[in-house]
Amino acid sequence: MIALNDEQTMVLEMVRRFAREELAERAPEYDKRGEYPWPQLRKMGELGLLGMNTPEAWGGTGLDAVTWALVMEEIAAADPSVAVIFSVTSGLPQYMLLRFGSDEQKEKYLRPLAEGRWIGAFALTEASAGSDPKGLKSTAERVDGGYRLSGVKSWITSGGQAQLYVIMARAPEGITAFLVPAEAEGLSFGEPEEKMGLHAAHTTEVRMDGVFVPEADRLGEEGKGLHYALAGLDSGRLGIAAQAVGIARAAFEIARDYADEREQFGRKIREFQ
Ligand SMILES: Cc1cc2nc3c(=O)[nH]c(=O)nc-3n(C[C@H](O)[C@H](O)[C@H](O)COP(=O)(O)OP(=O)(O)OC[C@H]3O[C@@H](n4cnc5c(N)ncnc54)[C@H](O)[C@@H]3O)c2cc1C
């Protein structure tokens, strides 16, 4: 057990209330309809939850990693789809921008993400490049003033919903990360994939058909994109673990409550244990 400080206790109480009142009740309906949970995400933005790891100077709330993991656990216990979207937008694009972005990029892209006005997506995976992303085939051809991106990304969380896509593609010097706004010409999205769960967290293809990205929107150095992406994924793993804990806890609590309510042979079934 870790002892929580006053700030962590306060944040956790606020998030538990929010998760109970705003997420848990709506989660089954959103999941059934496969509807992206914009109202819930907007509320999280207003509460300062979508930019928890980003310093206040860039629009976030600048809380520590332990608080982020505790919040993730609570959100996942109430609505795993919201937790996945939350994990990606705060753990990947914001983390990568904060660590590797220029001040101009932080102002333009990190601030709206951290303030919760935008949702960010991370596009690394391709049909033939999953666990082994260095095999990715999307290209970034150098052109006057920037690059042209072509290729197809698979399984992108918040595809078609996010306002910013951090896309890894192969430039002349190697895999490079690019900051691509949703409205970029030549960028399009597939339909949400059919999954076994997490239906409200849309997962789609992201298609690039000669998308022009100005030099100013290349993240960091050319050829360093895979390193940046893996650094982001490393930080994100903590969030995935916290989600698993939250989901397991919620499953246990639901089963425990049911065992306390269901009767067979004239007794509550938990009494047979
Ligand atoms: C819900 C969801 C959301 C996602 N969101 C995003 C996103 O936002 N952005 C993004 O870029 N990607 C996303 N992905 C893709 C995800 O990152 C990939 O699914 C993941 O990288 C694994 O790739 P794969 O599915 O192709 O599996 P594969 O690489 O084909 O692996 C299949 C199995 O083989 C195992 N395996 C592979 N290599 C080895 C090895 N060397 N040794 C032992 N076992 C091995 C794997 O562990 C796995 O069990 C998402 C996926 C899902 C399901």
pLDDT digits (tens, 9 = 90+) for 15-61: 999 999 999 999 999 999 999 999 999 999 999 999 999 999 999 99
Q: How far is CA 260 from the centre of its chain?
A: 36
Q: Check whether residue 89 and residue 150 sit in a common domain.
A: no
d(CA 29, CA 9): 30
Ligand 1 nearest atom to the CA of residue 157, by list position:
8
The predicted complex's ipTM stands at 0.97
Ligand 1 in reach of 157 Cβ (< 6 A): yes
Ligand 1 in reach of 156 Cβ (< 6 A): yes
d(CA 19, CA 51): 17
Ligand 1 in reach of 131 Cβ (< 6 A): yes
Q: Check whether residue 114 and residue 23 sit in a common domain.
A: yes
Ligand 1 centroid – CA 204 distance (Å): 14
Q: Check whether residue 47 and residue 107 sit in a common domain.
A: yes
Please indicate, yes or no, if residue 270 is contained in any of the structural domains: no
Domain of residue 147, residue span: 121-220
Q: Check whether residue 232 and residue 107 sit in a common domain.
A: yes
Please indicate, yes or no, if residue 200 is contained in any of the structural domains: yes
CA angle 240, 241, 244 (to 5 degrees): 90
Please indicate, yes or no, if residue 269 is contained in any of the structural domains: no
d(CA 162, CA 119): 5
Q: Which two tokens stand for residue 268?
A: 């509550």
Q: Check whether residue 52 and residue 127 sit in a common domain.
A: no
| Phi, psi torsion values for 4, nearest 5 degrees | -90, 145
Segment 138-165, tens digit of pLDDT:
999 999 999 999 999 999 999 999 999 9
Number of structural domains in the chain: 2
Ligand 1 in reach of 197 Cβ (< 6 A): no
Best CA proximity match to 16, nearest among 60, 83, 90, 71? 71
Q: Check whether residue 174 and residue 212 sit in a common domain.
A: yes
Q: Check whether residue 113 and residue 240 sit in a common domain.
A: yes
Q: Check whether residue 33 and residue 161 sit in a common domain.
A: no
Please indicate, yes or no, if residue 272 is contained in any of the structural domains: no
How confident is the prediction along the chain (273 residues), in pLDDT tens digits per residue? 779 999 999 999 999 999 999 999 999 999 999 999 999 999 999 999 999 999 999 999 999 999 999 999 999 999 999 999 999 999 899 999 999 999 999 999 999 999 999 999 999 999 999 999 999 999 999 999 999 999 999 999 999 999 999 999 999 999 999 999 999 999 999 999 999 999 999 999 999 999 999 999 999 999 999 999 999 998 888 889 999 999 999 999 999 999 999 999 999 999 998
Q: Check whether residue 64 and residue 163 sit in a common domain.
A: no
d(CA 43, CA 37): 10
CATH number of 112's domain: 1.10.540.10
